[in-house]
Amino acid sequence: MSGANLVVYPSKQAKFLANENILIGNVAFFGATSGSAFIRGVAGERFCVRNSGATAVVEGVGDHGCEYMTGGKAVILGSTGRNFAAGMSGGVAYVLDKKKDFSPKCNMEMVSLETVETEAESAELKALITQHFEATGSDVASELLEDWDNNVKQFVKVMPVDYKRMQGYMNDVRASGNFESEYDIAVKAFDIHLNNIASAKA
């Protein structure tokens, strides 16, 4: 996927609950670079593997979700399989953890688990779930939006550690005003990273 807006939902005549059934198969959005997807239902294994820029909302995933992800956003409105976020070096995932059983399923080698703390981040996540509801008519999304201030507390934010560190460096450069372009911000942030490594070794 390299653009566009993809929406998947079951037939209106379907008798099953979408959030309890697989609607898309394995390896969906492998290597996606841009665009958005809203899936009313569950995905199979290796969802958003190597995603580098797309935004996807789905109502559950199988094993190895967001494996080797380098960018973009994944919003999981349901349970995950094992080994979530293995090798995830960039991007952000939000997992609805109603049963409080997500942590053991997450590969913690390169990521940390956080809460949604800022109003801006809460608003962005709410906007994505609102889009999901408007596109698919999702019952799950509707329930979450009805009591958002409480339901947002049930989300776990999966954040790659090095990615967060680089975002901090880039914010420092922006705050300094000493840059000419977004590319310049990235270069200066990487220089800060290298200088910190050198200082730590000294």
**Tell me: the pLDDT tens digits for 118-141?**
999 999 999 999 999 999 999 999
Q: What is the rounded CA–CA span in Å between residue 123 and residue 42?
A: 24
Show the domains of the chain with their CATH numbers: 2-160 (2.160.20.60)
**Tell me: the pLDDT tens digits for 62-84?**
999 999 999 999 999 999 999 99
What pTM, to 2 d.p., does this model score?
0.91
Q: What is the rounded CA–CA span in Å between residue 91 and residue 51?
A: 8
Share of the chain above pLDDT 90, in %: 80
Which SS3 state, helix, strand or coil, does residue 37 take? strand
Q: What is the rounded CA–CA span in Å between residue 138 and residue 142?
A: 6
Which SS3 state, helix, strand or coil, does residue 149 take? helix
Q: Per-residue confidence at 199, pLDDT binned at 50, 70, 90?
A: confident
